[in-house]
Every structure is written in C-alpha cells, then in structure tokens.
Structure 1
Amino acid sequence: MKEFETTNKKVIQQLSTIEKRSGESPNTISKGTITVEEKYGTIRFERRLKHPKEIVWKAITEQKEIFRWLPDYKGTFDGYKDGTIDLLNVVSGSHVTGNILVFDLHRVFEHEWFIAPNQMFPKGEPESIIRWELKQNGDSDTLLIVTHNHLTKSTALTFAPGWHAYLDRLEAILNNQVPPNWAHRFAEVKGLYST
C-alpha cells in the first residue's frame, strides 16, 4: 500500500479536483479523534448530515449503498440482525470478516471488523468492532457517530485518515455529489492524524 505524507498546512492547499470545482475546502472540521488505552486504540468520528436517519441508515447497512462509498471492498455485507460480513479490500488485499452484533433500526448498527493476518497487518486485527450511532439532530438532520475500537495503536493511526476519507465519500454520495477519490482524500487528511 502506498504511503502518503502531508501536513496540516498542505491539507488546505492540496484540494482535490472535486473540491476545487465546488469551491469548498477539505473537511477538517469533521476530524476524528484517536484515543489509546493500554494496548487498544479507538477512533471516533461525529458527522452532522443533512439527511433523515432513515436515509443515513440505508447508506450504512445496505450492501449496494455501502459499496458506493466503500468502493475498494468487494464481497458480502449482510447489514441486518444476525448478518455477517466477508469482504476483501481489492487494493490492500486485506480480508475482513465479522458478525452483525447490534441492529437497532435507525439507531445503532454494530459489527465486527476482523482483519486476517496479511502483509499490511502481520498479526491481523482479531478484535476490532465498528459501531454506528444515529441521532436526530433537528427536524431532518442526523448526527452520525462512528466508533472503531479494539485496534492496535498503529492500526488506529493508519485507519483514522482512511475512515475520514470514507466518511467524506459517504457524505458526498448522500448529498448527490461526486465522491472524492479515496487515495487523494487520504493524502489530504493524513497529517491531521499524525500524533
């Protein structure tokens, strides 16, 4: 996997083609947080989306919708109670599996994100869990809280800009905009997560 280097100053200067066309600057306001306690790291994002919970829920639980903003993954994502995931990242070669743990319609969606050992993750990530919480924010807006926990510290630092880029893609698709290129977006926001 190619590594990208950037700094906070360059994040503002290196706008993607889509952002240049729209006149918007990168989404640094939606920066996630990384916390490390003992041997585990946790990534947390909060995004305010201008869509009702039902629309956001569909985008994060239905396979057809998921692969629109998570395009590097192929496989099965059964986003329903007692469902499973079995995905392959076609760029990195990472194999991800897991079970759906919580399916509280339009409120909480939680699933395992187990990564098998591979070149990028020699020990894998056998305990990782992603939790998606949706809260009504006003009449039609949704507060989306994404928490990815039980990661090693190094994986948390690697995944944070990746999730930032994927969430930017999710938001663009919900807004009927062309989503940013994931690799370019990753490069733009990586400096936000360097510590």
Structure 2
Amino acid sequence: MNDLGTVTLTGTHAILTFERRLAFPIDRVWTAITDPDERGAWLGTTHHEWRQRIVEDSVVRYELTADGDATLLTFTHTGLSERNALGFAPGTHAFLDRLRAHLDAGSLPNWGERYAPAYPAWRDAS
C-alpha cells in the first residue's frame, strides 16, 4: 500500500487511487465519509457534486472492504486529466490523513502540513 497514492494513465484520462487500512469497522468508516457533520469535521464544508472550469467531469468513489476487524478504504478519482490527477494527489493524501485522525478521535493534522511533504513527489512526477 502506497500512502501517497498512485496515478494510472488510461489513454487520455488518469485514475487517482489511494488505499488506506483503517482500524475501524465498515459502518464506522462509512458514517465518517457520508454523514455531513462527520465529513465536515475532516474534509471541511463541501458538496460532492460540483463543476469547476478547470476540472473535467470525473467520478470520486469510496470502496470499503472488511479486512478482519478493520476496513480497507480504496479511494478512486476517475476521468481526470493527468495534470489534474497529479495536482489532486497531495491534497487527497492530506484529507485521507485527516479522515484517519478523525476516526481515531485524535487532533486533526493541519492540511497544509500533510500536503507539503507529499507535494514534491507529485510535482516531480509531472
């Protein structure tokens, strides 16, 4: 499992993928992702159906699989250009770190402090 995620090219599009093993049952992880108050705690105020001029139509998927008493989260963002996939990678990494901290009931890491060390790996990949 690569904590920094992977970008896979598929012709003209890219797939951004992250896998995280979370030490909580599926229902607890699902609630943290789907409940607006819980999601807001780690992701901030957001609406998952938006249009931006700089981002092509794409799909974000959270797949949860039982892994013993834990959950394997597979996050995919499909339909992106390579540039946008590489650009979103460090920020997604930071948000998933915040999700883990939220589930652990710990203090949330500063998004920028989690983004900064991940950014060079993706900047250099572009």
TM-score exceeds 0.5: yes
Asked if residue 64 in structure 1 is aligned to residue 37 in structure 2, the reply is yes
Amino acid at match of 2:108: P
Larger Rg computed on CA atoms:
1
Amino acid at match of 2:39: I
Total equivalences in the alignment: 124
Give the CA deviation at 1:192.
Answer: 2.6
Deviations 1:121-178 (A, max 9, x none): 2xx32x210111111101x200000000101111101001110000000001101111
Structure 1: distance between partners of 2:87 and 2:72: 24
**Which runs of no fewer than 5 residues in structure 2 stay unpaired?**
none
CA RMSD for the aligned pairs?
1.6
Structure 1: distance between partners of 2:114 and 2:52: 26
Deviations 1:77-129 (A, max 9, x none): 5xxxxxxx4xxxxxxxxxxx2xxxxxxxxxxxxxxxx4321xxx2xx32x210
Deviations 1:25-83 (A, max 9, x none): xxx95120001122211100110000000000001111111111112x34xx5xxxxxx
Structure 2: distance between partners of 1:69 and 1:184: 14
**Which runs of no fewer than 5 residues in structure 1 stay unpaired?**
1-27, 78-84, 86-96, 98-113
TM-score by length of 2: 0.90
Within the candidate set 125, 132, 146, 2:62 is matched to 132
| Aligned match of 1:167 | 96
Asked if residue 116 in structure 1 is aligned to residue 45 in structure 2, the reply is no
TM-score by length of 1: 0.60
SS of 2:14 mapped into structure 1: strand
Greater strand share, 1 or 2?
1
Structure 1: distance between partners of 2:2 and 2:77: 19
SS of 2:77 mapped into structure 1: strand
